[in-house]
Amino acid sequence: CMPFRTAFPLRSASGTASLPDDHEDTLRGRLSRAGARGEFRLHYQPRIDIDTGRIVSAEALLRWQQPDGSLVAPDDFIPEAEETGLIRSIGAWVLEAACRDCRRWQQIGLAGLPVSVNVSAVQFRWGDLESVVEGALLGSGLDPALLEIELTESRALEDSDTGGQIARIAATGVRVAIDDFGKGYSNLARLGELDIQTLKIDRFFLHNIEEDDKGLALLEAIVGLTRRLGLEAVAEGVETPAAAARLAMIGCSRAQGYLWSKPLPPREFEHFALAWEPLGAMDMPKKRAGR
């Protein structure tokens, strides 16, 4: 089932000629007002330690709520937000909201549960990401050690400026993860230089690891590389108990996926996390199937 629909075409086929003067109905126009109208939502997906069965953190995933209540997925509006620069204010809101929610978790019985926030490479372009992160931490009172930012692997990681910003953010105690690792642009030489703590292995590598020996070999190599670099490997997109078992076998014990939970609205996530009992990895999915 597809939980989201695409509410807008990303670009009009005829270019700009037919856009109305006030841009009222364009994606750009609506997106530029969405923040002020309070239309953004964060959903949270738990990250599980397969060995202990515990929830070890949660990833904030952005949704855009429409007047009819439907939710637009980030892939359908983040690119436009990046092109227009709107990602700057949207990204700041995401960091503030995620830090606020995580601070709340500390007080309602989920002490020690960190939050992970996706940050666009474009957000580095303005050079003020450090102060945006710092502002979100100060505004919420969240311990920097409980925040991780996820940066999708891209050419931007090659900029020494980006590397410097990552290092300064990491120096404040905030963790930095490389997202979607192995799928797109991989500069392995650069990987050893960046001040990062986590590699999130793209869910592409989870495809067919049950039957496909080559796929499993690639996954094992990435997990091995991650360990040798002293980083933590996290597998994305785990959908089956067999995939989780394979991951545990090759030493990748951190994972996210529909097997455990979809991203949930904040209150639902809190209830889910509070009710969660670390029963042992392989039992959990079946025992929880009724949820």
In the complex, minimum distance from the CB of residue 33 to ligand C2E, in angstroms, rounded to a whole number? 18
In the complex, minimum distance from the CB of residue 181 to Mg ion, in angstroms, rounded to a whole number? 8
* Contact call for residue 180 and ligand C2E (CB under 6 A): yes
Measuring CA to CA, how many Å separate 39 from each of 72, 84, 101, 130, 212?
10, 18, 17, 25, 42
Whether 44 and 59 have beta carbons less than 8 Å apart is answered as: yes
Whichever of 82 and 180 has its CB closer to Mg ion, that residue is 180
Residues 6 or more apart in contact with residue 2 via CB below 8 angstroms: none
| Residue 247 contact, options Mg ion, ligand C2E, none, Cβ 5-8 Å cut-off depending on partner type | none
Q: What would the two tokens of residue 74 be?
A: 């980030």
Whichever of 14 and 273 has its CB closer to ligand C2E, that residue is 273
| Residue 232 contact, options ligand C2E, Mg ion, none, Cβ 5-8 Å cut-off depending on partner type | none
Where is 220: in which H helix or E strand?
helix 213-228
* Contact call for residue 252 and ligand C2E (CB under 6 A): no
Task: Give the end-to-end CA distance of the chain in Å, rounded to a whole number.
Answer: 16
* Contact call for residue 73 and ligand C2E (CB under 6 A): yes
Q: Rounded distance, CA 136 to CA 10, Å?
A: 30
With contacts defined by CB under 6 A, how many residues of the chain interact with ligand C2E?
25
Whichever of 163 and 263 has its CB closer to ligand C2E, that residue is 263
* Contact call for residue 237 and ligand C2E (CB under 6 A): yes
Q: Rounded distance, CA 51 to CA 73, Å?
A: 31
In the complex, minimum distance from the CB of residue 17 to ligand C2E, in angstroms, rounded to a whole number? 30
The sign of the dihedral angle between the CA atoms of 30, 31, 33, 39 is: positive
* Contact call for residue 75 and ligand C2E (CB under 6 A): yes
* Contact call for residue 257 and ligand C2E (CB under 6 A): yes
In b/e form, how buried is each residue of 65-94, taking b as 16+ CB within 10 angstroms? eeeeeebbbbebbbbbbbeeebbbebbbbb
Ramachandran quadrant class, 15 (left: phi over 0; alpha: psi -120 to 50; beta: rest): left
Whether 148 and 57 have beta carbons less than 8 Å apart is answered as: yes
* Contact call for residue 258 and ligand C2E (CB under 6 A): yes
* Contact call for residue 162 and ligand C2E (CB under 6 A): no
* Contact call for residue 46 and ligand C2E (CB under 6 A): no
In the complex, minimum distance from the CB of residue 18 to ligand C2E, in angstroms, rounded to a whole number? 29
| Residue 237 contact, options Mg ion, ligand C2E, none, Cβ 5-8 Å cut-off depending on partner type | ligand C2E
Give the alpha-carbon dihedral of 265, 266, 269, 274, to 10 degrees.
-160
Whichever of 85 and 109 has its CB closer to ligand C2E, that residue is 85
Where is 201: in which H helix or E strand?
strand 198-201
Residue of 48, 56, 92, 94 interacting with ligand C2E (CB under 6 A) = 94
* Contact call for residue 114 and ligand C2E (CB under 6 A): no
* Contact call for residue 128 and ligand C2E (CB under 6 A): no
Which residues sit at the interface with ligand C2E, rule CB under 6 A?
45, 61-62, 73-75, 78, 91, 94, 118-120, 150, 152, 179-180, 203, 236-239, 256-258, 263
